[in-house]
Amino acid sequence: SLWFGDPKLPTTEGGINPAEKTMDKTGVPYSNLNKTQIENWYQFKNLPDDYVGFYQKDGGAINLPETLKTFYSQASIAGVQMLENTPVLDIKKENGKYTIQTGEHEFTTEKILVSTGAYVNDITKYFDKQIKLDIWDMVSAYFEKTNPNIDYPTWFAFQQPNDENSNLYYGFPELDWKYKNYIRVAPDYPFAIYDSPSERKKPTSEDFKETEEWVKNHMTDLDSNAKFKSTCMLGLPKNKNKLLYLDFITDDKNVVVQTGGWVAKFAPTFGKICSQLLINGRTDYNISHFKIESEDLK
Ligand SMILES: Cc1cc2nc3c(=O)[nH]c(=O)nc-3n(C[C@H](O)[C@H](O)[C@H](O)COP(=O)(O)OP(=O)(O)OC[C@H]3O[C@@H](n4cnc5c(N)ncnc54)[C@H](O)[C@@H]3O)c2cc1C
């Protein structure tokens, strides 16, 4: 994993200096790099002279298809039943229990975990709560290698914002489970921000232009025309002091909500915390900084 750019820049995804501090504290080895090393060893070009960074040899991309298969099989072995295409359409509390309606089914339960991501308020409305989130809609794309012998590491460029956007970009190596001879490069800023996913719109080719420019100006051996384009939504707390939410949402402590943040990587830990909260009413982890407070609600 290669991080480079302005080491002092704070972003919603952290920064170079704090990451180095954490690695120093926890004994994770890494190598410091200057601009020339980043360009010569990892094929970037035309970087500003004052850019520095680090390379951490064990960092990289999570194989999400395999991770999901593992989660699904572990859950199935434990007796969990999963239903696809089954939106929750109503929740009511009767005689101390919750009744959940979907189109075809009705479930009765004491405990609920709400983890509907950007769609969280479609469910929390049944508990008369609405969480203040900015819903980021983000583009990403793949770029064809013009030299099959090169590869990039997993990388993130921490750059000062420009007039249009945060100017942050990231990318991955060619991955076994994705397009052959293509690598992903994406902006770490949204092309649109919504209050609700119902406002979702499609990106235009303009929304990929700045990423194509970044590839053209700063990467070698790639065709700078974006291919295999896609979008993805992410909820981030409007409250800039919060990175994500994980808390009870009802006074009976029977309903837990996790939403917001860059949290795919925390799925196993957050799953454990959520189950501890629902089964024991408390958790061994300090989650005070993920609390949903009155100022976080509409
Ligand atoms: C471009 C992009 C890059 C990212 N990169 C990273 C990264 O590098 N590292 C990282 O850790 N995180 C990353 N994230 C964030 C990560 O994708 C999210 O944190 C993660 O997907 C959240 O998982 P989730 O299961 O809570 O929610 P989601 O993945 O959003 O899933 C929510 C689920 O709820 C379902 N649902 C919605 N409404 C209802 C309803 N009414 N009834 C029933 N089900 C419903 C949906 O169908 C969906 O399956 C990225 C996000 C984006 C957009």
Please report, for the domain that includes residue 9, its CATH number. 3.30.9.10
Domain assignment of residue 14, given as a range: 2-59+138-232
Query: Final residue of a domain: which of 177, 208, 232?
Result: 232
The CB of 71 under 6 Å from ligand 1? The reply is no
The CB of 256 under 6 Å from ligand 1? The reply is no
Q: Write out pLDDT tens, residues 95-151.
A: 999 999 998 999 999 999 999 999 999 999 999 999 999 999 999 999 999 999 999
Ligand 1, atom 5, lies closest to the CA of 262
Number of domains in the chain: 2
User: Does the pLDDT value for residue 174 go beyond 90?
Assistant: yes
Same domain, 187 and 267: no
Same domain, 10 and 55: yes
151 domain residue, yes or no: yes
Same domain, 187 and 275: no
Same domain, 39 and 127: no
- List the CATH number of the domain containing 117: 3.50.50.60
Same domain, 202 and 292: no
Ligand 1, atom 49, lies closest to the CA of 116
Ligand 1, atom 17, lies closest to the CA of 264
Same domain, 225 and 259: no
6 domain residue, yes or no: yes
Range 65-72 average pLDDT? 95
User: What pLDDT, on a 0 to 100 scale, did the predictor assign at position 11?
Assistant: 87
The CB of 119 under 6 Å from ligand 1? The reply is yes
**Per-residue pLDDT band at 159 (split at 50, 70, 90):** very high
The CB of 60 under 6 Å from ligand 1? The reply is no
Same domain, 187 and 271: no
Query: Final residue of a domain: which of 186, 209, 232?
Result: 232
The CB of 244 under 6 Å from ligand 1? The reply is no
- Dihedral pair phi/psi, residue 111, rounded to 5°: -120, 145
The CB of 13 under 6 Å from ligand 1? The reply is no
**Torsion sign, CA atoms 172, 174, 178, 183:** positive
pTM here is: 0.94
Same domain, 89 and 9: no
Token pair, residue 200, equals 């979702």
Same domain, 281 and 197: no
Are the C-beta atoms of 236 and 260 separated by less than 8 Å? yes
Same domain, 112 and 205: no
89 domain residue, yes or no: yes
Same domain, 39 and 53: yes
Ligand 1, from 83, 91, 234: best to mutate by most atoms within 8 Å of Cβ?
A: 234
Ligand 1, from 154, 263, 273: best to mutate by most atoms within 8 Å of Cβ?
A: 263
Closest ligand 1 atom, residue 258 Cα: 26
Distance from Cα 190 to the centre of ligand 1, integer Å: 15
Query: Final residue of a domain: which of 178, 199, 232?
Result: 232
